[in-house]
Amino acid sequence: SFTVAGQGIALTIGQLTAIGLVGLVIVSMLGVRARRRDLGLQRLRGRSPSRLGAEAALEWAALAVPSVLVGVALAGVFAAVVKATWLPDSTVLMPPLGSLLTVVLVVLAGSLLVGFLTLRTAREPIPALLRATEARASSGRTSLAVLDVLILAVVGSALLVALTSSDTSLLVLLMPALLALAGAVLVGRLTIWLIARRGQRWLVRRPAAGLAAIEIARGGGLRSVLMVSGVATALLVLTTQATLIGDHNRIHRAEVETGAAQIFSTPTSPVRVQAALDEVDPDRRDATVVASVERPADGYQVMYVEPEAFGRIAYGTGDALPGGNWTAIEAPSGGETRLTGDRLRLTLDGPLDSDEGPMQVWATVADLSGPAHALFLGELAEGKATQSLTARMPCDDECRLLSLSFRPDGVSTVKGSLRLESR
């Protein structure tokens, strides 16, 4: 679950970063376009294009640095509010140093971008800079109108299907994101219409403001910024939905399979996990350790649990089944079998009767501070009265014997006794 969540968060951040860069380029181009007349007048006064580009970059940096500081402060306030209201028992993750470096790089990239766009625009002929901004061609406006109508029609049809259908298909999952796109189209159209109307009213009393408003309404920069914001909102909505659905499915699966509210998997040694739980939850009120040992060659899986805690936590909450009889898996009264030395020896006193030849013998041992190991002791031959098998133990100090495995190829019968010893 942690791996999937981490990948999803990284993917979302990458998408939003790409959208933010696109928005930065669009806003920079819109701002430089709005200053075309001013750049033309500055050129008439003898200012060089390189100097105009440097001044524009410094002006952008002077606005960007305070804005970034305010954004970082707001992010800190948001994190504190989340910790106090939504996640009171958790620790707010501090951003790594790489994120601070990214903020600095964004400010530098924005300054260089604005300076480059201003320099390129200022190098145009002065008469072209002093002319009014060219309006979009009628064919372009018609194409955008058709595209907006098509988006609204698709979203409307999808909404109708989602409201009238009881099927939980992918369309229902995408519906909030599609509504965000439709909202961006409607807000863009309404905003441009209001700016154009206001600009026409300002032409009489405030000609400069009226002309600026009309140029903004007739240009495509504002619509592009609003559409980029709509796409970013759609991505956030879709990612939030996927996160909530994944969390719900994980909890539901945990309740169905074991009854526990949550399950966390880790490749860490069970001994270390158990030691950590002994520190934070010695009474096993909230958590218990389940160690799973799976050997593909055997075709089976062995689970090691704490019987009392597992029966209470796994089957004692929610709508799960009541706890059962766990005496069948309780540890024997004799305690565990510990082996010392560097060699394990198995002796069979009695013959082996098999119709398929020799029988393999395996032992599973666990280091007291490490993982389990599978030892191949050897093969028991048919017909011998007494035979011994020996293997080297991999444990540093001593081992715990977990299991003995006899693997015949067919039907086999062993008569006599087994003796296991370590040396």
The C-alpha atoms of residue 404 and residue 380 are separated, in whole angstroms, by 14
**High-pLDDT (> 90) share of the chain, %:** 0
Residue 356 shares a structural domain with residue 390 = yes
Q: Do 280 and 342 reside in the same domain of the chain?
A: no
Quote the CA–CA distance of 393 and 399 in Å, as a whole number: 8
- pLDDT of 343 > 80? The answer is yes
Q: Is residue 41 part of a domain?
A: yes
Q: Does one domain contain both 148 and 223?
A: yes
Kindly state whether residue 19 falls inside one of the protein's structural domains: no
Average pLDDT score over the chain: 75
**Mean per-residue pLDDT for 117-121?**
88
Q: Collapsing DSSP states into helix, strand and coil, what is residue 324?
A: coil
| Nearest of 281, 226, 238, 340 to residue 11 by alpha carbon | 238
Query: Which amino acid is located at 66 in the chain?
Result: P
The residue ranking higher by pLDDT, 361 or 334, is 361
Clarify whether residues 368 and 415 are in a common domain: yes
- Residue at 286 is within a domain: yes
Predicted confidence (pLDDT) at residue 232 exceeds the cutoff of 70: yes
pLDDT digits (tens, 9 = 90+) for 294-340: 655 455 566 777 777 877 777 654 444 444 555 555 555 666 788 88
* Number of structural domains found in the chain: 4
Of residues 370 and 285, the one with the higher pLDDT is 285
What per-residue confidence (pLDDT) applies to 75? 78
pLDDT tier at 125, thresholds 50, 70, 90: confident
**248 and 149 in a common domain:** yes
Find the domain containing 67 and state its range.
35-131
CA-to-CA dists, residue 369 to 257, 286, 418, 421, angstroms = 30, 24, 28, 22
Residue-level pLDDT at 333: 62
In this predicted structure, the answer to whether residue 46 has a pLDDT above a threshold of 60 is yes
Whether 115 and 182 share a structural domain: no
Residue where one domain finishes, among candidates 107, 131, 155: 131
Sheet (strand 417-422) strand order: 386-392, 343-349, 417-422
Judge whether 20 lies within some domain.
Answer: no
**Alpha carbons 116 and 31: distance in angstroms, whole number:** 13
Are both 310 and 381 inside the same structural domain?
A: no
Q: Note the pLDDT tens digit of each residue in 243-259.
A: 777 777 766 666 666 55
What own/partner pairs with CB < 8 Å and gap ≥ 24 does 231-234 have?
A: 231/19, 231/181, 231/184, 232/16, 232/19, 232/20, 232/23, 233/180, 233/183, 233/184, 234/176, 234/177, 234/178, 234/180, 234/181
Question: What are the φ and ψ backbone dihedral angles of 112, each rounded to 5 degrees?
Answer: -65, -40
- Does 46 reside within a domain? yes
Give the pTM: 0.42
pLDDT, residue 311, reads: 72
Q: In terms of domains, do 42 and 112 share one?
A: yes
Give the model's pLDDT for residue 35. Answer: 78
Checking if the pLDDT of 179 tops 70, the result is yes
pLDDT confidence of residue 317: 47
The answer to the question of residue 141 being in a domain is yes
The more confidently predicted of residues 417 and 315 is: 417
Helix (H) or strand (E) holding 156, with range, is helix 138-164
**pLDDT at 137 (0 to 100):** 46
Q: Looking at the domain assignment, is residue 10 inside a domain?
A: no
pLDDT at 266: 78
385 and 317 belong to one structural domain: no
Whether residue 322 sits in one domain with residue 350:
no
Lowest mean per-residue pLDDT among 68-72, 89-93, 143-147: 89-93
pLDDT of residue 299: 53
The H or E element spanning position 403 is strand 398-407
Indicate whether 4 belongs to any domain: no
Over 80: is that where the pLDDT of 43 sits?
Answer: yes
Q: Are both 126 and 154 inside the same structural domain?
A: no
Which one of 131, 166, 190 terminates a domain? 131
Which of 79, 96, 131 lies at the terminal end of a domain, its last residue? Answer: 131
Same domain, 323 and 351: no
> Which of 14-18, 134-138, 191-195, 298-302 is predicted least confidently?
134-138
**Adjacent-strand bridge partners of 344:** 391, 422
